[in-house]
Amino acid sequence: MPVLESTPQSAAVTCCGLAATPVTEDDAARLAPMFKALGDPVRLRMASMIAARPEVCVCEITPAFDLSSGTISHHLKTLREAGLVDSERRGTYVYYWINPEAIGALSALLAVE
């Protein structure tokens, strides 16, 4: 039976998609927060902006939304906690980049073969 690798540091998928085999309880618990985070339109747009480039400064994300800086921070924190993005503070700005392993795990789960 195909298995999704479930280590704390890796979201890599070692096999097939949702249509090929049922998702294990552990994998569902690990992947569901990622889907939930992307279920919000603002976070989906943010993740898309971040994924489109090697890294994005929060100063580039904020103007794209008609939201307070606190709300922007909340959405980015949700994406980080779900494991979809990572970040680094450089001076007064925070830079974000997509977690390719997490996106790979979601993509592999949704792949139809």
pTM for the model stands at 0.81
Q: Where are the domains of the chain?
A: 25-110
State the chain's mean pLDDT as an integer.
87
Distances (CA, A) of 17 to 8, 54, 98, 107, 108: 21, 27, 21, 8, 5
**CATH number for the domain whose boundaries are 25-110:** 1.10.10.10
Listed residue (41, 36, 48, 40) closest to 82, CA to CA:
36
Confidence of residue 18 (pLDDT cuts 50, 70, 90): confident
Burial of 52 (0-12, 13-18, 19+ CB in 10 A): exposed
**What per-residue string of b and e applies to 17-39 under the rule 16 or more CB within 10 Å gives b?**
beeeeeeeeebeebbeebeebbe
Confidence of residue 21 (pLDDT cuts 50, 70, 90): confident
